[in-house]
Structure 1
Amino acid sequence: MRTTALLSRDPAAPFTVETVDLDAPRADEILVRIRAAGICHTDLVNRAAGKADRPVLLGHEGAGIVAEVGAAVTSVAPGDHVVLTFRHCGTCPNCTAGRPAYCRRSTALNHFGRRADKSPRVTVDGTAVRDGFFGQSSFAGYALATADNAIVVDPGTDPAVAASFGCGFQTGAGAVLNALRPEAGAWLAIYGGGAVGSAALLAARTIPDVRTIVVETATARRDLAGELGADHVLDPAHADIVATIRELTGGGATHALDTTGILAVLADAFAALTTGATVVAVGLGAGVPPIDVRDMVLQGKTIRGCLEGDAEPGTFIPHLLDLHGRGLLPVDRLVTRFPHTEIEAALAAQRAGRVVKPVLTW
């Protein structure tokens, strides 16, 4: 079949809206009519990879309606409304232990995973498109996915809001609810007020008596954090963050989340912890943070990573959507919709800090 797609032919050039040919679903595949797809930083990072392998079809926060399923698919049916998330094998030790984000085949399945027989799923003018991003490549009117990364949701769910639960919102909320698990009386410091940090803040607000501090450089995002209920919002350009957090909390944060991937920020988050506290890192930075090992040992502090919110998407995404439906997780405050043909305007607005979570619609 033919559909429109947003292709990247050069990471330095704008996305192009093109007509592509999509293969029919194989036995283990499903065809999804995309209604909305969030733009995530991970899309943009991977856009620059593999410059010789073009064009690239990205998108890993898709939401839509199942149009067709392969002969071997039994858990998803045509007409189901779905949120598309990351793939996992379901059989490795990490998957069977309930940690599918750490699937041992994750890289092969998600990083432009190819079919076993190497046949193309998407072509343009006869040329194979580099697709299979997170098992979906959902920057298109239709996407081929699989049952293991399609989460069936209520038909009344707004796809533009639901889409980003596939990655960004799941990551932020899961880091709080699954990894950090603060209890009443806790102080949670969140570094970065973008989509992931804001989702984390909203998730923390669902736990009674958890107090929050958001550290953010952009004025608009600091203002939003205050509107979303942060107890304190700090500008690192005008405050000694470590000293200020220690003073506000009476000795240090009990929990912290770094969404930035910046080594110096992670080091500050660690330094601002109280005894026995933990900082979770979700930003994919590079290098080694300047951590005082004596401080870590003598104060019993912990740094740990967290991928995709340590979530089991089949249960966690419906849980988050239930919280949203009950008005307890108003992530719609973070979403700005753009027609898919206006992806460059969406990216410009995101870079300028005018929007937190741009979502493309079809």
Structure 2
Amino acid sequence: MRISTAVVNDQGKSLSIEKAELSAPMHNEVLVKVFASGVCHTDAAGRDLGMTPYPVALGHEGSGVVERVGDGVTTVKPGDHVVLSFSYCGHCENCLTGHPASCVHLNELNFGGRNFDGTHRIHSISGNDISTFFGQSSFSTYAVVDEHGVTKVPSTIDISLLGPLGCGFQTGAGTVLNYLKPKFGSSIIIFGTGAVGLSALMAAKIIGLDNIIAVDVHENRLKLAEELGATKTVNSNQENVAEVAKELTKSGIDYSIDTTGVPSVIKEAVNVLKPSGTCVLLGIAGDVTFNIQQEIMGESKQVVGVIEGDAVPQLFIPKLIRYYQKGLFPFDKLIKFYDLNDINQAFDDSKNGNVIKPVVRIFN
């Protein structure tokens, strides 16, 4: 079928809206009419870093309505409202023990550009293959997605709001609720108050932590962080983060989360921890140098990377929606909508901090 899709043809180039051909879903796949898709930093990485072969159709926080299913699909049917999330095999040890975000095939399924069977679903009008991103390429009018990447959601909520639950919101909230599982009354410091950081913050408020510290350089984001539950906000251009943390907790912070990927910030996220504290890394980062004895091992600190909030999307996304319905996870306050033709502006506004979570509407 003929679709419109946002494609990057060469590394670092802007996205262009192009006509393409989408193959029919195979027996394990679902055809989804995409209503909206969130803009995430990983999309910018897919545009700029060459993590998926070019040309690539981007988008990985899609939401929409099922149009058709393959004959092997049993969890959704035409007419169901769905959120699209990451791809996983469902068969490896990590998947079978409830950790699909650590699937041994995660990178090839999400960034290899091909579907499960090794073939492509998206093709240029001239017949050349276009890589799929995150198993969905949801900056498109329609997407073909493996059943593992589809989560059924209530039809009573505006489907255009829900796409970011498939990645950014799931990553932040899941890191707190699924992975860290902090004790009631403990302390957490979150570096970076974008969509991932604010989702972690809202999850920390749900649990009831005594100290929820948000760190950023953008005053508009810090103001929203305070509104969403931060007990203390710190503009790191104006205050010393370590001194603030020490004033609030004499022995140090129990948990820290870095969403920035900035090496100096990562080091600070580790250094503010109390002995035996845990730092979770969520940002895309390069080399960071530590003195292992002095900064980590000598105080029994843990530094870990967590993908997609260690979530099972089909279980966790409905939980986040229930929190939203109860007023406990007001993620809609982070969202600003854009038309598909304004997608490059949405990317720019996300990068410069003007908008927390741009969401591109495909169908209104």
Could you tell me which residue of structure 1 aligns to residue 10 of structure 2?
10
**CA deviation after TM superposition for structure 1 residue 209, in Å:** 4.0
Specify the code of the residue in structure 2 equivalent to 1:159.
Answer: I
Could you tell me which residue of structure 1 aligns to residue 153 of structure 2?
153
Distance 1:54 1:92, change over 3 A: closer
Could you tell me which residue of structure 2 aligns to residue 316 of structure 1?
316
Instruction: Encode CA deviations 1:119-143: one digit per residue, 9 max, x unaligned.
Output: 4311222233433211111110000
Are positions 1:41 and 2:45 aligned together?
Answer: no
Distance 1:207 1:114, change over 3 A: same
| Greater Cα offset, 132-141 or 112-121 | 112-121
Could you tell me which residue of structure 1 aligns to residue 194 of structure 2?
194
Instruction: Encode CA deviations 1:33-56: one digit per residue, 9 max, x unaligned.
Output: 001100111111111244995432
Could you tell me which residue of structure 2 aligns to residue 135 of structure 1?
135
**CA deviation after TM superposition for structure 1 residue 251, in Å:** 2.5
| Greater Cα offset, 24-33 or 239-248 | 239-248
**CA deviation after TM superposition for structure 1 residue 179, in Å:** 1.5
Residues 270 and 295 of structure 2 are in contact (CA less than 8 Å); yes or no, is this contact kept in structure 1?
A: no
Distance 1:129 1:137 in 2: 13
Residues 62 and 138 of structure 1 are in contact (CA less than 8 Å); yes or no, is this contact kept in structure 2?
A: yes
Distance 1:52 1:278, change over 3 A: closer
- Report the number of matched residues: 362
Distance 1:6 1:17 in 2: 5
Q: Residue 338 of structure 1 aligns to a residue in which SS?
A: strand
Are positions 1:354 and 2:351 aligned together?
Answer: no
Distance 2:145 2:51 in 1: 24
Distance 1:154 1:359, change over 3 A: same
**CA deviation after TM superposition for structure 1 residue 352, in Å:** 2.6
Could you tell me which residue of structure 1 aligns to residue 341 of structure 2?
341
Residues 9 and 56 of structure 1 are in contact (CA less than 8 Å); yes or no, is this contact kept in structure 2?
A: yes
Distance 2:119 2:168 in 1: 30
- TM-score, normalising length: structure 1: 0.95
Specify the code of the residue in structure 2 equivalent to 1:141.
Answer: T
Q: Residue 131 of structure 1 aligns to a residue in which SS?
A: strand
Could you tell me which residue of structure 1 aligns to residue 303 of structure 2?
303
**CA deviation after TM superposition for structure 1 residue 9, in Å:** 2.1
Specify the code of the residue in structure 2 equivalent to 1:82.
Answer: V
Could you tell me which residue of structure 1 aligns to residue 206 of structure 2?
206
Distance 1:209 1:261, change over 3 A: closer
Unaligned runs of 5+ in 1: none
| Greater Cα offset, 194-203 or 229-238 | 229-238
Distance 1:298 1:7, change over 3 A: closer
Distance 1:116 1:216, change over 3 A: closer
Distance 2:119 2:297 in 1: 52
Distance 2:157 2:62 in 1: 13
Alignment of 1:58-77 (within 5 A): 58-77=58-77
Q: Residue 130 of structure 2 aligns to a residue in which SS?
A: coil
Could you tell me which residue of structure 1 aligns to residue 171 of structure 2?
171
Could you tell me which residue of structure 2 aligns to residue 274 of structure 1?
274
- TM-score, normalising length: structure 2: 0.94
Could you tell me which residue of structure 2 aligns to residue 55 of structure 1?
55
Distance 1:282 1:299 in 2: 22
Residues 52 and 113 of structure 2 are in contact (CA less than 8 Å); yes or no, is this contact kept in structure 1?
A: no
Distance 1:51 1:201 in 2: 29
**CA deviation after TM superposition for structure 1 residue 24, in Å:** 1.1
Could you tell me which residue of structure 2 aligns to residue 144 of structure 1?
144
Distance 1:99 1:116, change over 3 A: closer
Residues 112 and 135 of structure 1 are in contact (CA less than 8 Å); yes or no, is this contact kept in structure 2?
A: no
**CA deviation after TM superposition for structure 1 residue 328, in Å:** 0.5
Could you tell me which residue of structure 2 aligns to residue 261 of structure 1?
261
Distance 1:112 1:251, change over 3 A: same
Specify the code of the residue in structure 2 equivalent to 1:270.
Answer: V
| Greater Cα offset, 149-158 or 281-290 | 281-290
Q: Residue 7 of structure 1 aligns to a residue in which SS?
A: strand
Distance 1:198 1:291 in 2: 30
Residues 243 and 272 of structure 1 are in contact (CA less than 8 Å); yes or no, is this contact kept in structure 2?
A: no
Residues 175 and 310 of structure 1 are in contact (CA less than 8 Å); yes or no, is this contact kept in structure 2?
A: yes
**CA deviation after TM superposition for structure 1 residue 299, in Å:** 2.5
Instruction: Encode CA deviations 1:177-231: one digit per residue, 9 max, x unaligned.
Output: 1122122221110000111001111111111243200110112212221222211
Q: Alignment identity in percent?
A: 38
Residues 263 and 287 of structure 1 are in contact (CA less than 8 Å); yes or no, is this contact kept in structure 2?
A: yes
Q: Residue 225 of structure 1 aligns to a residue in which SS?
A: helix
**CA deviation after TM superposition for structure 1 residue 7, in Å:** 1.3
Distance 1:107 1:209 in 2: 34
Distance 2:21 2:174 in 1: 36
**CA deviation after TM superposition for structure 1 residue 118, in Å:** 4.8
Residues 60 and 167 of structure 1 are in contact (CA less than 8 Å); yes or no, is this contact kept in structure 2?
A: yes
Q: CA RMSD in A?
A: 1.8
Specify the code of the residue in structure 2 equivalent to 1:346.
Answer: A
Distance 1:312 1:109 in 2: 16
Residues 187 and 209 of structure 2 are in contact (CA less than 8 Å); yes or no, is this contact kept in structure 1?
A: no
Residues 57 and 129 of structure 1 are in contact (CA less than 8 Å); yes or no, is this contact kept in structure 2?
A: no
Are positions 1:216 and 2:224 aligned together?
Answer: no
